[in-house]
Amino acid sequence: MPRQVLIKIRRGTESQLPVLDVGELGFCTDTNKLYIGTPNGNQLLVAAQSVGDMLKSIYDTDYDGKVDAAETADSVPWSGVTGKPTTFPPSSHDHSRMVVDDTRNINLLPTDLTSREIRAEFKYRSTVGMPGSGTYCKVITLVGWTDDSGGAVHQVGFDDNGDIYIRRGTRSSGWGGWVKLAREADVMPKGPITWNQLKGV
């Protein structure tokens, strides 16, 4: 059948597509998209292989390999999540022992201890300024309240020679000095206990 009339529409690459007149068609030679002009601007009519396919040029307009709609999920605030449960099951944990944290270079001040807790730590003796002997010491910290209204924070330290020390501190004044309590051997003597030991002499 011979062609009687050849009808052409505006065409070019998508980046070169101008604002079409109302009812005017525009064909993108690089993406095979067909637009029509409307009072509100260009409206996509047809995208090549649009049925059942997701075109990168439509769904990933910034070409970063992630669907545009999915990118919004990366920064959804907690308040914007719907269907949240009101309670969460706790993770599995074991309270049968206390883990000793290796914080040998850290000397926490009472102002850093704002949670009610008992913590056990492995330290350089020089880090916490504890008297005694040996390079290392073990420190147990007892925090009874979140501020000074609940009383002081206490630490008990053990050096390598079996000496036991204690210090107290407040958020307002920091740590006091270490005071020696006793030697381990004096507190827990081996062998039979004498009458003088029972009397504390």
pLDDT at residue number 143: 95
Residue 132 scores a pLDDT above 80: yes
- pLDDT-derived band at 198 (thresholds 50, 70, 90) equals low
Better pLDDT: 159 or 74: 159
Query: Are the C-beta atoms of 144 and 118 separated by less than 8 Å?
Result: no
Better pLDDT: 180 or 7: 180
Six-digit token string for 78? 């907690």
What is the rounded (10 degree) CA torsion for 63, 69, 70, 71? Answer: 60
Residue 197 scores a pLDDT above 70: no
The residue-averaged pLDDT of 84-96 equals: 71
How far from the centroid of its chain's Cα atoms is residue 155's Cα? 29
Residue 112 scores a pLDDT above 70: yes
- Per domain, the residue ranges of the chain are 10-67, 100-187
- pLDDT-derived band at 93 (thresholds 50, 70, 90) equals low
pLDDT at residue number 189: 58
* Helix, coil or strand: residue 23: coil
Distance CA 186, CA 201 (A): 11
Max mean pLDDT range (92-96, 107-111, 159-163): 107-111
Residue 88 scores a pLDDT above 80: no
How far from the centroid of its chain's Cα atoms is residue 180's Cα? 40
Give the strand pairing for 10-12 and 25-28: parallel
pTM above threshold 0.75: no
Q: Among 25-29, 61-65, 145-149, which is the least confidently predicted range?
A: 61-65
* Helix, coil or strand: residue 126: helix
